[in-house]
Amino acid sequence: MTQSRPHASSAAVPTAPASTGDLTGCPWHDVKAKLREVGLRPTRQRMALGWILFAKGDRHVTAEMLYEEANHAKVPVSLATVYNTLHQFTDVGLLRQVAVDGSKAYFDTNNSEHHHFFIEDRNDLMDIPSSDVVVGKAPVPPNGYEIARTDVVVRLRRKKR
Ligand SMILES: [Zn+2]
Q: Are residues 34 and 87 in the same domain?
A: yes
Among 95, 79, 160, 157, residue whose Cα is nearest residue 123: 157
Q: Quick one: average pLDDT of 115-140?
A: 83
Among 101, 52, 57, 111, residue whose Cα is nearest residue 81: 52
Please state the domain count of the chain. 2
DSSP state of 12: S
Distance CA(46)–CA(91), nearest Å, equals 14
Q: Are residues 120 and 86 in the same domain?
A: no
Would residue 53 count as lying in a domain? yes
Distance CA(17)–CA(51), nearest Å, equals 11
Condensed to tens digits (0 to 9), the pLDDT of residues 78-97 reads 999 999 999 999 999 999 99
Distance from residue 81's CA to the centre of ligand 1 (Å): 23
Q: Are residues 70 and 132 in the same domain?
A: no
Condensed to tens digits (0 to 9), the pLDDT of residues 137-147 reads 788 999 999 98
Q: Are residues 40 and 76 in the same domain?
A: yes
Range of the domain at 119: 112-156
Distance from residue 153's CA to the centre of ligand 1 (Å): 10
- Entry pTM: 0.74
Which residues line ion ligand 1, judged by CB < 5 Å? 108, 110, 127
- Cβ pair 124, 61 in contact under 8 A: no
Would residue 5 count as lying in a domain? no
